[in-house]
């Protein structure tokens, strides 16, 4: 079955055709990055206007690149939540219209579940596993028992990890999108140039929760306090920030693995493309853990992850009603 997946939750206008949930025939991602660059961040009104202009061509390109005709599409999946409301509505309404015309099943997809599902498309990992979602808007450590059953163990209590990368980059004028620039600069910097530290882990109540706000403030406002005397170059700031931001996360992942006894780890979301995140999580392999990542193209927003997850729901008989509306909020995950 060919599933069309549509993703317009933020600043990527994407459509993909995935065959039987596994075979990515096309994954067209029209990024708006250049158009938001002058503002150092996504402008919601501009994003939704561009999605409206682009969506039809992006879907046509995905169908063409897949070498199929629209009539061959067996089901349509579109991101329904969470994200920018105006942007979500464009993709969701386009999907409903096309599903109605083609008379095929339609399913609305939760973007966070789709990010967590992304690695499964290329490297299926047996359930259960520890899911680590690292994106521009979310930081979640969770137990994943199936594509639809996710128990949140910990989340950020303030900034998301990607948001912290973006804010630090924006403050120092390192470029946009910030995470990619920090990753690049950090390769040439000294990670010990600034002795930032992360917040202590709370041992009892929510031991896997994380906070990036203090680190972000320290990097932006307190360079002098944490200096070791090395020059405050963009490379040194980036490397020192990245060391602590990723280190905090890895500590919590380590504790969650120990406490849950889970033997597999899967990461998703834009910051899962970060080279230090990847090498740090891969280091768990030497202790016998199985570690899975999406390829770089499936880390950030893309239609293939929506089509892949949509296929699983459709196969299991789930359908969304055409009355389904978009929502800016994340759906309720169970938090222990």
Ligand X SMILES: Nc1ncnc2c1ncn2[C@@H]1O[C@H](COP(=O)(O)OP(=O)(O)OP(=O)(O)O)[C@@H](O)[C@H]1O
Please tell me whether residue 180 adopts helix, strand or coil conformation: helix
**CA nearest to 11, candidates 118, 136, 138:** 136
Pick from 62, 140, 256, 271: which binds ligand X (CB under 6 A)? 271
Give the residue closest to Mg ion by C-beta. Answer: 301
Extract the tokens encoding 322.
């055409």
110 binds, among Mg ion, ligand X, none (CB under 5 to 8 A by kind): none
Under rule CB under 6 A, how many of the chain's residues touch ligand X? Answer: 24
Q: What is the DSSP string of 16-52?
A: EEEETTTEEEEEEEEE-HHHHGGGTS--HHHHHHHHH
Q: Is 216 in the site for ligand X (CB under 6 A)?
A: no
DSSP 331: P
Q: Is 135 in the site for Mg ion (CB under 5 A)?
A: yes
Q: Is 274 in the site for ligand X (CB under 6 A)?
A: yes
Cβ contacts of residue 312 below 8 Å, gap of 6+? 21, 117, 147, 148
Which parts of 51-70 interact with Mg ion (CB under 5 A)?
none
**CA nearest to 310, candidates 55, 32, 15, 48:** 15
Minimal distance, residue 199 CB to ligand X, in Å: 20
Contact letters for ligand X, residues 107-126 (x by CB under 6 A):
----x---x-----------
Residue 80 · residue 74 · CB < 8 Å: no
227 phi and psi angles, rounded to 5 deg? -70, 145
Handedness of CA 140, 141, 144, 150 (dihedral sign): negative
Of 273 and 326, which CB lies nearer to ligand X in the complex structure? Answer: 273
Pick from 177, 189, 234, 308: which binds ligand X (CB under 6 A)? 177
166 binds, among Mg ion, ligand X, none (CB under 5 to 8 A by kind): ligand X
292 binds, among ligand X, Mg ion, none (CB under 5 to 8 A by kind): none
130 phi and psi angles, rounded to 5 deg? -85, 120
Residue 308 · residue 120 · CB < 8 Å: yes
Pick from 137, 189, 234, 308: which binds ligand X (CB under 6 A)? 137
Of 209 and 301, which CB lies nearer to Mg ion in the complex structure? Answer: 301
Of 101 and 332, which CB lies nearer to ligand X in the complex structure? Answer: 332
Minimal distance, residue 273 CB to ligand X, in Å: 4
246 phi and psi angles, rounded to 5 deg? -75, -40
Pick from 178, 189, 234, 308: which binds ligand X (CB under 6 A)? 178
Of 27 and 135, which CB lies nearer to ligand X in the complex structure? Answer: 135
Edge to edge, the sheet with strand 23-31 lists 23-31, 12-19, 2-7, 73-81, 106-110
**CA nearest to 269, candidates 109, 47, 112, 44:** 112
Residue 268 · residue 112 · CB < 8 Å: no
Residue 278 · residue 156 · CB < 8 Å: no
Q: Is 294 in the site for ligand X (CB under 6 A)?
A: no
Minimal distance, residue 118 CB to Mg ion, in Å: 10
Residue 330 · residue 110 · CB < 8 Å: yes
131 binds, among ligand X, Mg ion, none (CB under 5 to 8 A by kind): none
Of 54 and 165, which CB lies nearer to ligand X in the complex structure? Answer: 165
Q: Is 303 in the site for ligand X (CB under 6 A)?
A: no
179 binds, among ligand X, Mg ion, none (CB under 5 to 8 A by kind): ligand X
235 binds, among Mg ion, ligand X, none (CB under 5 to 8 A by kind): none
Pick from 3, 4, 6, 10: which binds ligand X (CB under 6 A)? 10
- Contacts with ligand X, residue ranges (CB under 6 A): 9-10, 83, 111, 115, 135-138, 162, 165-166, 177-180, 183, 269-271, 273-274, 300-301
- Contacts with Mg ion, residue ranges (CB under 5 A): 135, 301
């Amino acid at each position: 079955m060919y599933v069309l997946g549509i993703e317009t939750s933020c600043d990527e206008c994407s459509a993909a055709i995935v065959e039987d949930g596994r075979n990515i025939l096309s994954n067209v991602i029209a990024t708006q990055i250049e158009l938001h660059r002058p503002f150092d961040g996504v402008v919601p009104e501009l994003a939704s206007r561009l999605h409206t202009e682009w969506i039809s061509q992006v879907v046509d390109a995905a169908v063409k690149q897949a070498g199929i005709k629209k009539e061959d599409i067996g089901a349509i999946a579109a991101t329904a939540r969470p994200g920018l409301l105006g942007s979500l509505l464009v993709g969701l309404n386009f999907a409903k219209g096309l599903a109605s015309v083609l008379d095929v099943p339609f399913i609305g997809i939760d973007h966070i579940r789709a990010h967590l599902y992304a690695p499964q498309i290329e490297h299926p990992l047996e359930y259960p596993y520890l899911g680590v979602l690292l994106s521009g808007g979310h930081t979640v450590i969770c137990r994943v028992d199936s594509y639809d059953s996710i128990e949140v163990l910990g989340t950020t209590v303030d900034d998301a990890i990607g948001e912290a990368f973006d804010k630090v980059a924006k403050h120092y004028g390192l470029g946009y999108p910030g995470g990619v620039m920090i990753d690049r600069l950090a390769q040439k910097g000294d990670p010990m140039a600034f002795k930032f530290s992360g917040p202590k882990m709370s041992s009892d109540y929510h031991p896997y929760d994380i906070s990036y706000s203090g680190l972000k403030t320290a990097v932006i406002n307190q360079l002098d306090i944490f200096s070791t005397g090395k020059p405050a170059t963009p490379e040194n700031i980036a490397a020192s920030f990245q060391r602590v931001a990723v280190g905090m996360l890895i500590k919590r992942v380590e504790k969650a693995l120990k406490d849950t006894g889970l033997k597999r780890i899967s990461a998703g979301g834009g910051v899962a493309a970060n080279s230090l995140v990847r090498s740090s999580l891969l280091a768990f392999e030497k202790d016998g853990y199985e570690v899975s990542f999406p390829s770089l193209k499936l880390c950030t927003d893309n239609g293939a992850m929506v089509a892949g997850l949509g296929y699983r729901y459709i196969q299991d008989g789930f359908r969304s009603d055409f009355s389904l509306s978009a929502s800016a909020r994340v759906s309720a995950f169970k938090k222990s």
